[in-house]
Structure 1
Amino acid sequence: MNKEFLNATLLDSNVHSLILLRKILQEHKIKIRCTDFYSDEDLSQYLNKAMYGVPDVVFINYQDIQATDFLLIRERIDDIRYSSAIFVV
């Protein structure tokens, strides 16, 4: 069974980045379900629960994780459940 959308997750404190990402994907006619987060703690909790399945792509703004402890997200990235996900920093 093929799903008809790209399950993307975005960690960014700038709302304009989310809008830009959606416009880029719409130009290429890619249907997307996008979940956005403003803190690494919220993203870590989301990845831990994975209620909506494992995201296909996780976009992380480097400036948002520079000042915070990235170890929580790093632990989730190393989890075997996320071996098929693509992480873009």
Structure 2
Amino acid sequence: MRELMFILGSLAGTWLLIGWLACGLFAGYVASEKNRCGICWFLWGVLFGPVALLASAGLPMRRPSSAEPHENTDFFQSSYQPLPVEILKSKTPPKK
């Protein structure tokens, strides 16, 4: 009987740990979809579990501000792609 209780207790603890980590993963995912720090919310989710998941689900969507340096820095996401000639012209020194 003790062996059965030990096995059931260890299984419950394992599932609780897996569920707690899943709350952290989902909280980080939900927060990153809302333009928040996904890694930060993952850590909050690991610490606080379902409470952090509910809090990240209740976050409002954050619009990117124009002051953020990461805006439009991805080559494939930007709307303007300079031609190679324009890149070369900008790197050459002006003629005297």
TM-score range, shorter chain: under 0.3
Which of the two has higher C-alpha Rg?
2
Higher strand share: 1
Relative contact order: is structure 1 or structure 2 higher (C-alpha 8 Å, sep ≥ 6)? 1
- Structure with greater proportional helix content: 2
Report the TM-score when normalising by structure 2: 0.24
TM-score by length of 1: 0.25
